[in-house]
Amino acid sequence: MKRVIYLFILMIWAVSATAQNKMYANFQDLMNDQGDVVTTLHKSKRSINQIYLSPGADYEIYSAENKELTKYLKKRCYAVRLSDTLFVNLKHMKYKKYRFGNWYALGEMVGGKVYFQAQPLGQIASSTLIPKEGSKLGGTVGDAINASSLVNVRVYYVIDPTTGEADFVGKDMMNRLLSSSPELLEAFQQEDSERAEVIGKYLDKLK
Instruction: Please write the tens of the pLDDT for every residue from 1-16.
Output: 444 333 333 333 333 4
From the list 170, 117, 126, 129, the residue with the least C-alpha distance to 145 is 126
Strand partners, 109: 114
Q: What is the mean pLDDT of the chain?
A: 83
The pLDDT, as a whole number, for residue 149 is 63
**Banded pLDDT at 82 (limits 50, 70, 90):** very high
The answer to whether the beta carbons of residues 158 and 113 sit under 8 Å apart is yes
For residue range 188-202, what is the model confidence (pLDDT) as tens digits?
999 999 999 999 999
The pLDDT, as a whole number, for residue 148 is 56
How much is the average pLDDT of 95-117?
Answer: 95
Q: How many residues does the chain have?
A: 207
The pLDDT, as a whole number, for residue 51 is 87
